[in-house]
Amino acid sequence: MRKQDFKDLLMFLGAPLLTLAIFVVYPIVATIVISFTKGGLSFTLENYREVLLETIPLKALVVANPEPYPPWGALVHNAVWILIAVPAVVFLGMLLAYALRKTLGSSFILGIIFLGMVLPGVVSGLIIRFMFDADIGIFPRIFALFSIPILSRTWTIYPQSALFALILGSVWLWLGFSVTLYSAGLDSIPPSLIEAALVDGASEREIFIKIIVPQLKPVTIVVALMTIMWILKIFDIVYVVTGGGPGGSSTVLALIMYTYFASALEYNKAAAVAVMLAVLTLIPAYWYIKMILGSEKQ
């Protein structure tokens, strides 16, 4: 490379690289450094030990009967969220996309389903809050018809049901993304495969299980990984609907990080939770990027 070419390249890339270093690289490095220090510049693992083993105050959050709650509980809540929401989003998304592919007015129905993805998090949270309200919510009303008192009350104010209300609400929010991807995936399946199966006498159920599901495997991986990443960093709807309560029964890692930072003013511990959350998020992100690069090579 000639000296002039190098100067031209530096002139064009200098400003973007400097901006990237100031607003991306420096905050990441500073967060990692802060998470390993306490009361000075000496290296310590104390922040991580306290985050994992001790409790934190939730007094500033909108919760009923606020109590100290262990961050491990938040990690467990994220895990439970993933175990319930990911299979639901994958299965319902695939089933709805397949059922709507030849349905009259499917575009309109898909638009309604996708509405949850385009609404602001605060608005979505308020809708979820109303959905599980005993007076106007659809879910309590349905269970009231079957005379199930424990499920016909307001879900979000009881520790036994608050987390599950958030999980079910999040399935609705993320379902639009799932259905959209599966609809695109169904369009990419060669019609000759389905036609050959029909000629051989295969039923609709056999076609779905033996042809559609295997052909949509790449889409399923993308939907599952993206949903996991979204759940790991979910914050807005939890803060709006329950604030992590009651009694910390629905708190999640992102809310714990916010509480350390904005309420308890424990910046080192907030950085420690942020690093843990980033590492957990990078795991599915790594597999997602690996899958994308692998598909491009093919």
CATH code where residue 179 lies = 1.10.3720.10
Q: Is residue 61 part of a domain?
A: yes
Q: What is the pLDDT of residue 88?
A: 94
Q: Is residue 9 part of a domain?
A: no
Q: Is residue 3 part of a domain?
A: no
128-173 pLDDT per residue, tens: 899 998 888 888 888 888 888 888 888 888 888 889 999 999 998 8
Alpha-carbon dihedral angle through residues 69, 73, 78, 79, given to the nearest 10 degrees: -170
Q: What is the pLDDT of residue 205?
A: 84
- Please name the residues in contact with 27: beta carbons below 8 A apart, sequence gap of 6 or more: none
Check: pTM over 0.75? Answer yes or no.
yes
Q: Is residue 216 part of a domain?
A: yes
Q: Is residue 15 part of a domain?
A: no
How open is the CA angle 255-170-54, to the nearest 5 degrees?
Answer: 25
* Structural domain total, the chain: 1
Cα dihedral across residues 73, 238, 236, 139: positive or negative: positive
Q: Is residue 25 part of a domain?
A: no
What count of Cα atoms within 13 Å lies in the side-chain half-sphere of residue 255?
34
Q: What is the pLDDT of residue 62?
A: 38
For residue 57, CA distances in Å to 33, 248, 265, 276 come to: 24, 10, 11, 19
Q: What is the DSSP letter of 4?
A: H
Q: Is residue 20 part of a domain?
A: no
Cis bond before residue 246 (omega within 30° of 0):
yes
Cα dihedral across residues 208, 212, 217, 220: positive or negative: negative
pLDDT under 70 in the chain at which residues? 1-4, 53-72, 293-298
Q: Is residue 103 part of a domain?
A: yes
Q: Provide, for the chain, the percentages of residues in helix, strand and coil under a 3-state DSSP scheme, each rounded to the nearest 5.
A: 75, 0, 25
CA–CA dist 62, 247 (Å, integer): 10
Structural domain of 249: 56-297
Q: What is the pLDDT of residue 103?
A: 75
Q: What is the pLDDT of residue 86?
A: 94
Q: What is the pLDDT of residue 89?
A: 94
Q: What is the pLDDT of residue 243?
A: 85
Number of H helices, E strands in the chain: 15, 0
